[in-house]
Amino acid sequence: MATKTSRASKTPAYKCAECGWTAVKWVGRCGECQAWGTVEESGATVARTTAAATVLEPARRIAEVDGTTAAFLPTGVDELDRVLGGGLVPGAVILLAGEPGVGKSTLLLDVAAKFARTGQDVLYITGEESAAQVKLRADRIDAVAHTLYLSAETDLGQALGQVEKLEPKLLIVDSVQTLSSADVEGSAGGVSQVREVAASIIAAAKRRNMTTLLVGHVTKDGTIAGPRLLEHLVDVVCQFEGERHSRLRLLRAVKNRYGATDDVGCFDLNEAGIEGLADPSGLFVSRTREPVSGTCITVTMEGRRPLLAEVQSLLAESPNSQPRRATSGLDSSRVSMLLAVLQQRAGCLLHKDDSYVATVGGVKLSEPATDLAVALAVASAKARKALPQRLIAFGEVGLAGEVRPVPGINQRIQEAHRLGFTHAVVPASPNGSGPVPDGFSVREVGHLAEALELLIA
């Protein structure tokens, strides 16, 4: 006969308002998210031990489970399918986070319309806009479909009622921080409310085998707002990134239970809506008729995807005793290090020049493999001599001036050859650069001085 015991602890609990971390005593700094002044008293912690319940569905052998019910369903947006690993999985809960204005709602409305055009019912619940406002955006981006339903709700009970009545195949909630439950204390967006809303929606999704897309807000630090429990409960966590003044948007999977997390989706956000970019390299490379000094093309890896990007440099004699160092799209401290290496290891005198180093198209380059391209662009600007027009360069530069190998050398070369480039300066590697395409010339260098010989030759 099953027994049931319970015990309650009256020790007061303290909870972080940012991430939901709990402690038995007050502390000034959260032990999870390291935020200051966010730990507050939240009542008593109650621990329970419950009796075993009657099993409604017995466990089955894994070989007897039908895996076809969890097959991928294409969304109609190839770049999103790439990031998700093949498409939407029935019953999966996907969290899409990003800064305000980055295009989360536009992307999901486009996904909703394309998925609805396959004949499936789609429910789009908006808590931030009215149904009329969403309809205006849908008209602008051509995202109107017969089986796409809109509901402007901020009450969790009403939202679940809409799900119960319509029984959609795809549910989109924009956003999870705007819904609130009348059974839980606190305002919408609070830790308790977000936890309750997410748990209720996830339970409904698993019970109905309904794919769910949740929009999540981010904090000033760029992390997902609300308790960290939200990220652990969902199946997929995606980050939507992009500069406000740039058309390029990048979608990354931070967590994916159904696929890899090393791929990236590229989108173009414009007046007509949002479009997937199968070949986004053209956004990051300028088109000039004649070679220009101070420019160099590199190949960077975004996940498993090689992308071409252009680095530009401008040097001007400084009127001040301390020259100015300005960067855009690059790590300023790493560029300063490369300027010092150029001067000390390669004899390129830069101590009297203001230096401006930037990328084209607003792309951010944080990979160390772009070091060699930055160094060649600066040296080209100093010598006022252009590099060959169909040349690419990549490699990590150390403080001793050595050029270190980077991952994916052959993959980068193949991408450059596909886009019409004919020469490459790459780091010397023990394994070599792999098979080289016909008509493509590869020069391996072990030191920065060897690469700078291109400006003399």
In 3D, which of 90, 167, 364, 332 has the Cα closest to residue 249? 364
- Count Cβ neighbours within 10 Å for each residue of 354-392 and write b for 16 or more, e otherwise: bbbbbbbbbbbbebbbbbbbbbbbbbbbbbeebbeebbb
Check residue 116 and give left, alpha or beta (phi > 0: left; psi -120 to 50: alpha). alpha
What is the DSSP-derived secondary structure letter of residue 431?
T
272 — phi, psi (to 5°)?
-85, 0
DSSP string, 154-197: -BHHHHHHHHHHH--SEEEEE-TTT-B-TTS-S-TTSHHHHHHH
Q: Is 102 annotated as a binding residue?
A: yes
- Known binding residue 100? Answer is yes
Is residue 409 within 8 A of residue 428, CB to CB? The reply is no
DSSP 3-state assignment of 61? coil
Query: Which residues 6+ apart lie within 8 Å of 436 measured at CB?
Result: 413, 442
- On whether 103 is known to bind a ligand per the annotation, the reply is yes
Q: Are 106 and 240 in contact (CB under 8 A)?
A: no
Interatomic CA distance for residues 106 and 113, integer angstroms: 11
12 is in an annotated binding site: no
> What string of DSSP letters covers 85-103?
TSSBPTT-EEEEEE-TTSS
Q: Residue 446 in contact with residue 428, Cβ under 8 Å? A: yes
Q: Confirm or deny that 43 is annotated as ligand binding.
A: no
Q: Cis omega before residue 175 (within 30°)?
A: yes
Residues in the chain: 457
Residue 104, annotated as binding a ligand: yes
Rounded CA separation 126/103 (Å)? 15
CB atoms near residue 233 (< 10 Å)? 16
- Which residue blocks in 269-386 are alpha helix, DSSP H? 332-346, 371-383
Residue list for the binding site:
98-105
Show binding-site residues for ATP.
98-105
